[in-house]
Amino acid sequence: MDLHRWHAAAVPWWVTKVGLVGGWVAAFYFAVGGNDVPCTAAHPCAPDPLFALAVVPLLATPLLLLFGRVLTGCATGVVFGALDLALDGSATANLAFGLHAAACAVVAAWTVRSRADQHEAAGTALVMLPDMPPQRGALRVVAVLLVLFGFLTFVQYDLSSGEIEQHVAKASRVEAEVVEIKNTYEVWVELPDRQRAGFEPLAPETYQVGDSVQVLADGEWVRMENEPEDVTWWLTLGGAAVFLAVMLAVRERRRRALWSGPVKAVRVRAVPVGPRRVLLRHGDADVAVVTTLADLGLEEPLYHDTEEFGRVWRGEEDPPVPLDPVELLVAGEWHHGGQVALVRDGDVVATSSLGRIRRHHTVHGAHLPGEPVTAGTPVDLPHAVWPGDRRRTEGVVLLLGAVGALVGLQYYPGFVVLGLIGVQCVLSAVTRFQPMMRLDHRHVVLYTGVWTYRVPWAQLHGVRRAGPQLMLAFGPHGDVLTTPQLPDREAGEKVMWARARSLLSGRSGDRVTRRLNVGVFAAAAYAGLALFV
What angle, 0 to 180 degrees and rounded to 10, lies between the N-to-C axes of helices 233-256 and 138-170?
160
> Are 404 and 500 spatial neighbours (Cβ–Cβ below 8 Å)?
no
Backbone torsions φ then ψ of 181, nearest 5 degrees: -125, 115
Three-state secondary-structure class, residue 76: helix
Instruction: Give the C-alpha separation, 267 to 257, whole Å.
Output: 20
pLDDT of residue 37: 60
Hey, CA dihedral for 238, 239, 245, 249, is it positive or negative? positive
What is the distance between the alpha carbons of residues 514 and 475, in angstroms, rounded to a whole number? 11
**Rounded Cα gap, residues 474 and 486, in angstroms:** 19
DSSP-assigned beta bridge partners for residue 289? 279, 355
Looking at residue 455, the DSSP 8-state letter turns out to be E
Q: Which of 400, 496, 387, 500 minimizes the C-alpha distance to 434?
A: 387
CA distance 340 to 464: 38
CA-CA distance, 492 to 514, in Å (whole number)? 22
> For the chain, which residues make up each domain, given as ranges?
1-123, 134-258, 265-366, 383-531
Cβ-contact 496, 462 below 8 angstroms: yes
Q: Does pTM top 0.75 for this prediction?
A: no
Q: In angstroms, how far apart are the furthest CA atoms of the chain?
A: 89
Closest CA to 270 of 301, 297, 302: 297
Count of C-beta atoms within a 10 Å radius of residue 468: 11
- Positions of the chain with pLDDT lower than 50, given as ranges: 363-366
CA distances from 83 to 48, 94, 188, 468 (A): 12, 9, 35, 52
Contact 53, 235 (CB under 8 A): yes
Task: Give whole-number Cα distances, 399 to 226, 385, 432, 435, in Å.
Answer: 39, 22, 10, 18
Burial class (CB in 10 A: 0-12, 13-18, 19+), 528: exposed
Supply the pLDDT for residue 364: 41
Asked whether the beta carbons of 489 and 470 are under 8 A apart, the reply is: no
Nearest to 466 by CA among 374, 371, 387, 362: 371
CB 202 within 8 A of CB 232: no
Other beta carbons within 10 Å of 161: 18
Buried b vs exposed e over 239-253: b needs ≥16 C-beta within 10 Å? bbbbbbbebbbebbe
CA atoms within 13 A on the CB side of 470: 23
Cβ pair 328, 280 in contact under 8 A: yes
If phi over 0 gives left and psi between -120 and 50 gives alpha, with beta otherwise, what is residue 467? Answer: left
| Selection from 275, 216, 213, 260 nearest residue 39 by Cα | 213
Alpha-carbon distance of 481 to 471, in angstroms, equals: 6
Identify the bridge partners of residue 277 per DSSP, sorted by sequence position. Answer: 274, 291
- 8 Å CB contact between 121 and 5: yes
Position 365 scores a pLDDT of: 38
Rounded CA gap, 210 and 225, in Å?
Answer: 18
Kindly report the number of other CB atoms within 10 A of residue 500's CB atom.
Answer: 13
Q: Do 36 and 92 touch, CB atoms closer than 8 A?
A: no
Straight-line distance from the first to the last Cα atom of the chain, in angstroms, rounded to the nearest whole number: 58
Q: What's residue 363's pLDDT?
A: 43
Which CATH superfamily hosts domain 134-258? Nucleic acid-binding proteins (2.40.50.140)
Name the CA radius of gyration of the chain, rounded: 30
